[in-house]
């Protein structure tokens, strides 16, 4: 079930095509989305309402949760001088593998679509303009006494795709030389699902 669709924002350190295994051996899909403070207000309101609903239910199950600290849904971006930039940062994370209570392992992924809602295998690069559709889940951590909302991306829509670094432009400055010649190869990618997008 999709709970939200974000406004357009700028992708920061996206790991959406393949999982990131740095902090989780099972892998995680992650992205931070930088959205202007003005544009993000409706999203903040929507997520706060979802969080409050989860919090109320959690308190019914465990009254001690009422004394927990509430984790922020987003962070305000600041520059090197600690001045606010006028953007808010939202963090999205989805485990690549989920083990059910029955011991079944379910593999997850994030569906990627272009601006026309067509599935694509293009690599989502940092600096690209995206919208994220996903679900939200409340969590209570007794060890740290914190309650918060986890944002899980289910699909992203690429509005504009940023360059991967301008390597092709730099390569034009070289001249052909005698020496190493790379073997040709085909990069095989798994096709994205053509499930209906939420955008």
Predicted confidence (pLDDT) per residue in 46-63, tens digit = 999 999 999 999 999 999
Average pLDDT, the chain: 88
What secondary structure letter does DSSP report for 193?
P
pLDDT score of 181 more than 50 = yes
Residue 22 contacts residue 121 (beta carbons within 8 Å): no
pLDDT score of 177 more than 90 = no
CATH number, span 4-171? 2.40.50.140
For the full predicted model, state whether its pTM sits above 0.85. Answer: no
pLDDT score of 193 more than 90 = no
Residue-by-residue DSSP string for 101-141: TTS-EEE---EEE-TTS-B--PPP-TT-EEEEEEEEEEEEE
Rounded CA-CA distance 5/12 in Å is 17
Structure token pair of residue 188: 């095989």
Q: Poorest-confidence range of 22-36, 94-108, 114-128, 158-172?
A: 158-172
Rounded CA-CA distance 9/136 in Å is 18
Residue 115 contacts residue 128 (beta carbons within 8 Å): no
pLDDT score of 108 more than 60 = yes
Task: Kindly state the average pLDDT of the residues 142-148.
Answer: 96
């Amino acid at each position: 079930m999709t709970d939200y669709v974000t406004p357009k924002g700028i992708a920061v350190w996206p790991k959406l095509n393949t999982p990131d295994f740095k902090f989780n051996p099972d892998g995680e899909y992650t992205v931070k989305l930088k959205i202007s403070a003005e544009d993000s207000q409706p999203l903040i309101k929507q997520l706060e309402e979802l969080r409050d609903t989860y919090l109320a239910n959690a308190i019914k199950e465990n009254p001690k949760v009422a004394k927990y600290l509430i984790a922020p849904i987003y962070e305000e971006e600041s520059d090197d001088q600690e001045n606010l930039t006028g953007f808010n940062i939202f963090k999205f994370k989805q485990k690549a593998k989920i083990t059910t209570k029955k011991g079944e392992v379910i593999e997850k992924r994030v569906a990627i679509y272009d601006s026309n809602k067509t599935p694509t295998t293009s690599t989502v690069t940092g600096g690209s303009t995206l919208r994220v559709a996903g679900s939200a889940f409340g969590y209570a951590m007794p060890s740290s006494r914190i309650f918060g909302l986890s944002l899980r991306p289910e699909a992203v829509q690429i509005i504009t795709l940023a360059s991967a670094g301008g390597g092709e432009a730099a390569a034009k400055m070289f001249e052909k030389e005698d020496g190493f010649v790379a073997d040709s190869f085909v990069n095989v990618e798994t096709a994205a699902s053509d499930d209906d997008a939420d955008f």
